[in-house]
Structure 1
């Protein structure tokens, strides 16, 4: 069973055609790579078109400006399964997809974090929707911060930077049970992925995070002369195919009556339309749109559920203080009616999911239908019975 090889690299701008060609040559010279995650591409739509032609595989992206940001995931042909779910932001800092194959199944998220600590904190806080789902998470990219100032950074000043961003990143890792793969394999080694020779600064900004317990063959830092960053290469051992959940996801059509949801969907759709030319076909673009509509619907529903729970708690407290408050009773009843309607819909969808799954009853019915369609014998005009196993040719002629 083959390992899956992933490389992450901050390319520090890739709009120059000569640099782009040289980078692709450098990638091909590396050991067999299945997935390449790039940061700071500075791409426009035309650059994506040229990259697609040169790479000859799937290219997923989030565009930044011509002088900053931009992230991309390059997948070897055949790596991205049909169920691959693609998500990206509008600022060129996040692109994520489901990588599903016969021996692997995980959610890959490629990021380029902001330079300022306060903006990084907010960035990590808002990363959850891109990595949520049923699949285990592989998080990689340029984090623009280090977990350990003593081991992962060459200090050139006495100033101690703010660590609020690292606290938020640590919370994200705790939530999804992620660990720094390179540090886990090399607990005491001191290496860096970025250097500034003029000032003597160096940091290990580029990293991979995988779920605790996931087996990695290796995680190594790979020098690259085409950037001021080194690449980081990860080899994952086969984990087997992902477990498939119940049924297909279905959009709650009641969301289409929600004014806020419709306005947000309309605004995002206008942004998605501008990216259409960067896809190989309208079908590929439409798959991306459906995936992002799903993410938006789930995110909006969770937010509404939190608001309803907060409102329910507040109304209960008011009612405890004044049990005869008729207005509170009416609001509480309306809220409970909404909750019961939601429970009824979820119950119905759960039943439909159960019906979609193969069951012993379904197989028994299919077997009975097959037996009903089976021809044991055919009576000829002369009154003879011909059985198909012994007289296949004559039987076909009669039919």
Structure 2
């Protein structure tokens, strides 16, 4: 967990390439129990030194290489803050090394690796931006490697339900008419690519055009289906026989698929009169001649 305070210490060690001296200095730094240790004149000279010294330290080690007899600056970071280290910058003379620490005051990391080298925000609450947040706190749980996250919200006086996200009706992708129209449209959109600075910007625009095209196609498709449905209804109503409704159960025009007229010969034995049936995803509407 990121601490509320940050402790640092600086020390000129006048060389620590020798193993006995280096280990005593590192042990001394551990006893100080600080977050960051700044060391000068370490005489660190290569990457292999970084690997060995960091193992002996047990945390993060960042260095600007000098020679075996001069320079060599080192920053030691405690294991509990290794996850906070961002960009590392250094010179080529072994005099300057700079690290960027991403610190969040108050402790907002809820999961911690047992050795303290890694922490993360794995447990989160998501709420609308307009939802006021009154208080968020973290409670340590000794029975888990996660901390408990407690959120208390001040509820607004009223809730405004916003428009939901648009979702493509994947059924239209199977229709040949949609495929043909889409291919023609897409070729036109491809011709616009030179007008955009790069392919990514062009694709963002095309995604918006695809959405608009799919919406228009679905609207026209629904209009055509409703028109055909009403046309068949009018044919049945304007026939030579007086038609009455024999059975109407949970019928909904919005859920109705494309209606079809069933030849009367297939049902003549059953009804002995002209028959029209309109089938859909809901129970059928039966119209028979009296």
TM-score, L = length of structure 1: 0.27
Please identify which structure carries the higher helix content: 1
For normalisation by structure 2, the TM-score amounts to 0.36
Larger Rg: 2
